[in-house]
Structure 1
Amino acid sequence: MNLEHVFPCGNPALDFAATLRARRSVRFEMFVSGDRLDAWYLESGIVDAVTPAREADVERAVTVREAIYQLVTARIAAEPYDMGALAVVNSAARKPPAAPRLTATGRWTDATQEEALSLVARSAVELLSGADVPLMKECGNPECTRIYIDRSRGMRRQWCGMDSCGNKVKAAAYRARQKQARTAGAR
């Protein structure tokens, strides 16, 4: 399977919120089609099968995603929650979630779009009301806006992921040091 999405954040709700990348610069939307939304649900592992998304499902998912992001960033900043964002997430979480079933080969979860989105919203509710709140951080890459759970020893993790952001930041710093050394040596 060729994966279309990455999951560096440590929580499904945070990974879902991260599907709009680089929010402060050139935004990159991952949910450009129903197929991409379906792929996210499957690749994240929250469901094993999902009914194909229609345009309205993508719009609803984007609305919930943005509400989750608003709530997460408010929580990190110790600011009050936006009441509209709370209503959106709570409404999605109130819908019945997909129920796993046991099969001869293991666990299997079929879901409708609404059931899959409910699982994401419930993950956000659990995250924002749970013990992981103090572990939430924004990626140290100025171009990245992912929020992740820092479970590193000493809570010193700086990036959402080494492959996606850490290596880029370290390589840029190395190039800057090399350029500075060349400039200093030319004097």
Structure 2
Amino acid sequence: MAKKILMIVGDFVEDYEVMVPFQALQAMGFEVDAVCPDKKAGEQVATAVHDFESQQTYLERPGHNFTLNADFDSVNTGDYAALVVPGGRAPEYLRLNEKVLDMVRDFSDRPVAAVCHGPQLLVAAGMLEGKKVSAYPACAPEVKLAGGEYVEIDLDDAICDGNLVTAPAWPAHPKWLRLLVDRIG
């Protein structure tokens, strides 16, 4: 039986940060369940493409719709070997949902991979105390206020602290996903 990975997403999740890990992990033989509060399997979330041109922060464009393949309300976190938290704007409002935070906390002893703004969910769940964490640089103050050590790394790099795997943005997918898979075993 394939090991299962839970992916928590929401509207305006970053397009590459949901699509690429979802498909890549499946290609590696994992079963990936993508869920969103108040939505069921077969429903979609809107995505956004974040890119960098000449502005001082990222630029946001409409992405593809992403189809969920599992029901949020049916999740039993004990069935999963790991958790993946993509970035984009979704973590900003998902962190206000106590059921989401409870799900995230259930993974405190298992591999958790968060990219870009994904660590915002980990901050809200109280999971970063004493951890070395990378994230989109605008999230650095939140990581520090949560007791984590923000580590500035290249956009195509990722870091690991115990079972926590983090990266600043989607260019880090190759290393970020490799570190996650190594933690899952």
TM-score by length of 1: 0.26
Structure with larger Rg: 1
TM-score by length of 2: 0.26
More strand by percentage: 2
- Answer 1 or 2: higher relative contact order, Cα 8 Å, separation at least 6: 1
